[in-house]
Amino acid sequence: MAALLEIRNLDVRFDTPDGEVHAVKNASLTIQEGECLGVVGESGSGKSQLFLAAFGLLAGNGRVTGKVLYRGEEILGASQKRLNGLRGGAVTMIFQDPLTSLTPHMRVGEQIIEALMLHRKMPRAEAKERAREMLDYVRIPESARRLKQYPHELSGGMRQRVMIAMATITGPDLIIADEPTTALDVTVQAQILEILRALKTDKKTAIALVSHDMGVIAGLADRVQVMARGEIVESGTADEIFYAPRHDYTRMLLAALPKADDTPPPATKVGPPLLEVEDLKVSFPISRGLFQKPLTLRAVDGVSFTLHQGETLGVVGESGCGKSTLARAVLQLLPKTAGTVVWLGRNLDAVAETDIRALREDLQIVFQDPLASLDPRMPIGVSIAEPLRALEPQLSRQEVREKVRAMMARVGLDPAWINRYPHELSGGQNQRVGLARAMIVGPRLLMCDEAVSALDVSIQAQIVALIGALQAETGLSLIFISHDLSVVRRLSHRVMVLYLGRVVELAPSTELYARPLHPYTRALLSAVLAPDPRAERARKRELLTGDLPSPLDPRAQLTFLKSRLGDPGYRPQLEQVAPGHFVAEHDQF
Amino acid sequence: MIATGQTLKSSEEIKGRSLWMDARRRLFHNRAALASMIILGLIAALAVLAPLLSPYAYDEVNYDLIACSPGWWPVEAACRAQGHVFGTDAVGRDLFVRVLFGARVSLAVGLVATLVSLVIGVLYGAIAGYLGGRIDGLMMRIVDVLYSLPFIFFVIILMVMFDRNFILLFVAIGAVEWLTMARIVRGQTLSIKQKEFIEAARAAGVGPLGIITRHVIPNVVGPVMVYVTLTVPGVILMESFLSFLGLGIQEPLTSWGVLISDGADQMETAPWLLLFPALFMAVTLFCFNFIGDGMRDALDPKDR
């Protein structure tokens, strides 16, 4: 019997004004019925283009050659009509961003049944019923009501479930899932992967799982192909790839992953307290039209912590937990609503605006998106010099230049690149620029706001190592913010877990990873994917059901303390259970 | 893996490719835009050199050659004026030199009025966008009110009140054009204000003035330049429209609008009087639009 999908010698090239880009080089692969093929590669490896090209979805300037056989039938260059019949029917796709892949002006239900009516010629009422069943299948609560909602009314995880429902409802043989969980929070990612796993086992659907994340692939894929720079460099069963990688690139990818047993650095001798944050609150008014009272969104709702000299505090939480708001409020980039921030014994409330700017010598930040945080019209040397020009105007041009060159060399950038522009550099290089800009004034506290989240794993490891080295050299304190517990683990002495603007657990990192006490921390840890297929397959997860509740819902704070729901204004209080280990009150599950 | 250049020890500094250089390269690679720039340059040069190119003055009347066709005109006409390449008008003036003088006026009005609207619009829009809040609301409502005034009535009233004159034309057109510019700049400023690099600059300790001059304005310039190149032809059209209505330039001075208006009156007996000024104006407008288009593509290749 012919394979479900066979791609032979596929070659994809793009004509761009800057010359030809060879995106996929001579790639071949097969997918059998009911099998999951994982395609792993870092950004720019051509992994997405491979499947887009195979199903005739290439951008206008792309050219493709080779053979694509679906059940033995050549579909490369097949008529639009044939391809349209195939796509959305027998072969469906799930993309990374569920918001942009859903039509914003159509109700969710209409979009789901569209495919059914088109491909299965099903009558409307029956299609509706099928759609409702399908939403139940992907575990969307209140499915009947959801069908009447618009995409923007659903959360990210919910939208991705709708996409999966759409992709599954026609009963396809093959689902191409292109980074299906990359835009989602870790706990939601775990749920989505569970659904995909169920699809594979119950419905015997073949899945092509494209991802940059070895952990995502490990739990689901039967066979794995590794792509680098447009080429398939290694292919084999999941066990072969993960336990006995042969190609250097695969080995490097695996080595760069944060391991579950990465030992957190020993708590260094702790200096005097640098920063004391006491009951910090930041809230934003959400206006609701002209005549209604605006709602208050409590982004940070009473957070207290102390940071010592030379210490790293990891801050972990999912989107909307207020971790970025916390960072900005501490740095006085956002006005706080209540609480105090004390820096070196000085209450920052009492400090005038102009003096706050002088304080920036000590307090610096590295942002998540390396490209967006650099002015596109400025050479990187000028960007790096910016804090110097603002904070140390007495320096001469020559001195500034020398300092910039020295700092560039320190963060691993060639000083000769001083006049280059951010768009000429890769993401990792731009993040080094961001780091150089933050470090050039010799800060005592560096805030890393998801500083490595947007980078490829191999680059991630390099940047984390660089930050660690800079800390060891200068003795600066770090607040390392991330949604990913395993990344935080490598650097942090203590870890603070945030949930909807409040601390649910704060503990030394060895303690937290070994003995998580709060159910939310446990769920987060359980959602971390290990690049270990056997362990992943065997694993029973402690899954949270559903999505994060809205921070606007006053009862959301009591998600883990349902016994106090009678008193909706109540906030779970932190209790010290061991020296330095604090846990918020919660019910026993 | 990406080489990080730690081992590289070159003293040569690599010259970076700035976004401006990229944009310029893309603009010059756009054939329509490049050709348009050359043609526009030729027209501008002709307009400047007009008195040197023709033995006739723009207001030199010759009653012997009333509405005569050019010597090379293929259709039989009442009379032929040898030596007048575009023929002569109803009072025997050389059309070629008048078209070029018209070009002077039309291009000058286009450029000056656009410049006026640029200065007012960019300042007004950037201030409103950066300050935001109530001030922004108030400033933009003023713009909305001005927008709703009917333009032609506004011009007619101005002309009646202050008598017709050349300067008034700039004022009237500029007063209308800056409104759109202000809106565009405000919108751009608002979106740039949200960008992470602005926050990064604040975190680096840069003050508000530094942020506006070093980060906001350089990033607003792109869309503004595109709008400017598209405003110039709009203004030229507007001037010709006013002149056509008899509200614009006065004789013996002329503009393309006036020439087209006069030519339209004698379209049947002397078509060249309409053809040449109309041709010049159409080509100019085409050129500006192509350049504007090319600039947009060059500055933001992703939005194509």
Interface predicted TM-score (ipTM): 0.76
Q: Which residue has the higher pLDDT, B69 or A300?
A: A300
Between CA B57 and CA B88 the distance in angstroms is 12
**Whether the domain at A5-255 and the domain at A310-321+361-497+511-584 fall into the same CATH topology:** yes
The beta-strand segments (E) located in chain B are 69-70, 80-81
* Complete domains list, chain B, with CATH: 36-57+95-303 (1.10.3720.10)
Interface test with B, best of A421, A439, A457, A460 (most B CBs within 10 A): A421
- Per CATH, the number for A310-321+361-497+511-584 is 3.40.50.300
Cβ contact, residue pair B199, A367, below 8 Å: yes
Report pLDDT digits (tens) over B288-301: 889 888 888 887 75
Indicate yes or no: CB of B203 within 8 angstroms of CB of A413. no
Choose among A531, A471, A522, A479: nearest CA to A499. A522
- Given a contact cutoff of 8 angstroms between Cβ atoms, the answer to whether A424 and A374 are in contact is no
Q: Would you state the pLDDT for residue B302?
A: 55
Instruction: Tell me if A387 and B204 make a contact (CB, 8 A cut-off).
Output: yes
Q: Which residue shows structure tokens 């690099």? A: B197
Residue with tokens 């690149």: A417
Closest CA to A503 of A552, A575, A562: A575
Domain A5-255 belongs to what topology?
Rossmann fold (3.40.50)
CA-closest candidate to residue A367, choices A432, A482, A446, A449 = A449
Please determine, for residue A374, whether its predicted confidence score (pLDDT) is greater than 80: yes
The pLDDT tens digits for A287-342 are 766 677 777 888 888 899 999 888 899 999 887 788 888 998 998 888 888 888 99
Q: Hey, how many other C-beta atoms are within 10 angstroms of the C-beta on A78?
A: 16
| Res B4: pLDDT | 41
Lowest mean pLDDT among A10-14, A562-566, B22-26, B54-58: A562-566
**Percentage of residues in chain B having pLDDT higher than 90:** 8
Report cis status (omega within 30 of 0) of the bond before A273. no
Looking at residue B7, its pLDDT comes to: 39
b/e map B44-58, b = 16+ CB within 10 Å: eebbeebeeebebeb
Q: pLDDT by residue (tens digit) across B170-179?
A: 777 777 888 9
Stretch A176-193: mean pLDDT? 82
- Residue B2: pLDDT band (50, 70, 90) is very low
In this prediction, residue A408 carries a pLDDT of 92
Tell me what the mean pLDDT of segment A125-137 comes to: 87
**Which pLDDT band holds residue A551 (cuts at 50, 70, 90)?**
low
What is the model's pLDDT at position B8?
A: 40
As a whole number, mean pLDDT of residues A112-122 equals 81
Q: Confidence class of residue A545 from pLDDT cuts 50, 70 and 90?
A: low
Close Cβ partners of B123 (under 8 Å, ≥ 6 residues apart): none
For residue A189, give both structure tokens: 């990612």
Torsion of CA B113, B115, B120, B126, to 10 degrees: 140
**Mean pLDDT over residues B122-150, rounded?**
88
Residue A264 scores a pLDDT above 60: no
By a Cβ cutoff of 8 Å, what residues of chain B touch chain A? 1-2, 4-6, 8, 10-20, 26, 29, 195-197, 199-207, 210, 214-215, 218-219, 301
- Tell me, what's the pLDDT at A305? 92
Q: Which residues contact A93 (CB under 8 A, 6 or more apart)?
A: A51, A55, A87, A167, A175, A176, A177, A178
- What's the pLDDT score for residue A542? 63
Q: Where are the domains of chain A?
A: 5-255, 310-321+361-497+511-584
- Kindly list the residues from chain A whose CB atom is less than 8 angstroms away from the CB atom of residue B196: 367-369, 372-373
Residue position matching structure tokens 């304080």: A359
Give CA separation, A353 vs A332, A346, A489, B36, B208, in Å.
9, 14, 36, 52, 12
